[in-house]
Amino acid sequence: MLDACQDPEIQRWTQVPVPYGPADAEAFVSVVAPRTWAEGGALFAVVRIDDDALVGSMGLFPPADGVGELGYWTAPGHRGQGLTVEALRVLADWSLGVVGVHRVELLVDPANTASRSVAARAGFVAEGTIRQRFRHRGRPADVVLHARLAGDTPDG
């Protein structure tokens, strides 16, 4: 976790603290993850089956009104292999089926073409740009809203 979050792309597109130190990694595992679960969300490490290498992190923020927001990042050495797409499909299916939300959403920076591609390949539909919907590093930022509904198929 500590090594992955040193990556400039993870720091560019996510809300991980910058700089990201050992105390941040410890707090994520010991405070943020348990609190997210206690509030009805879920945080997961994405690992390769064959060697348990950390591929990334993925989670469901605590749902409200039947809607869950998902988020993810992928470690540098594992990008472009389809692993995040597969994990996002699993997380969306679990959120829609087991958790029981009727809609899952992703808020993605319009310039983050890699993440937007992952969303599309995982069956999420880009519904439009929401201007200044998000604060990133203290500044208002636009996002593209991607969503999957309970009745949608994972392949779009």
Residue 111 lies in a domain: yes
What does pLDDT average to in each consecutive run of 10 residues of the chain (156 residues)? 96 96 97 97 95 96 98 96 97 97 98 98 98 95 97 74
Residues contacting residue 82 through CB under 8 Å, at least 6 positions apart: 121
Residue 41 lies in a domain: yes
Cα–Cα dist 24/87, whole Å = 24
Question: What pLDDT is stored for residue 153 in this prediction?
Answer: 79
Q: What is the pLDDT of residues 43-59, one digit of tens each?
A: 999 999 999 999 999 99
Q: Which amino acid is at 106?
A: L
Positive or negative torsion for Cα 145, 149, 155, 156: negative
Q: Three-state DSSP class for 116?
A: helix
Question: What pLDDT is stored for residue 68 in this prediction?
Answer: 98
Residue 156 lies in a domain: no
With beta carbons less than 8 A apart as the criterion, state whether 96 and 148 touch.
yes
Residue 86 lies in a domain: yes
Question: What pLDDT is stored for residue 129 in this prediction?
Answer: 98
Residue 22 lies in a domain: yes
Looking up residue 22, the CATH number of its domain turns out to be 3.40.630.30
| H or E segment and range at residue 23 | helix 22-27
**In which domain, by residue range, is 84 found?**
4-149
Question: What pLDDT is stored for residue 155 in this prediction?
Answer: 66
What HEC string does 70-109 produce? EEEEECHHHCCCCHHHHHHHHHHHHHHHHHCCCEEEEEEC
Residue 155 lies in a domain: no
Angle at 17 between CA 82 and CA 138, to 5 degrees: 105
- The pTM for the full model equals 0.94
Residue 154 lies in a domain: no
Residue 35 lies in a domain: yes
Cα–Cα dist 131/137, whole Å = 16
What is the domain count for the chain? 1
Q: What are the counts of helices (DSSP H) followed by strands (DSSP E) for the chain?
A: 5, 6
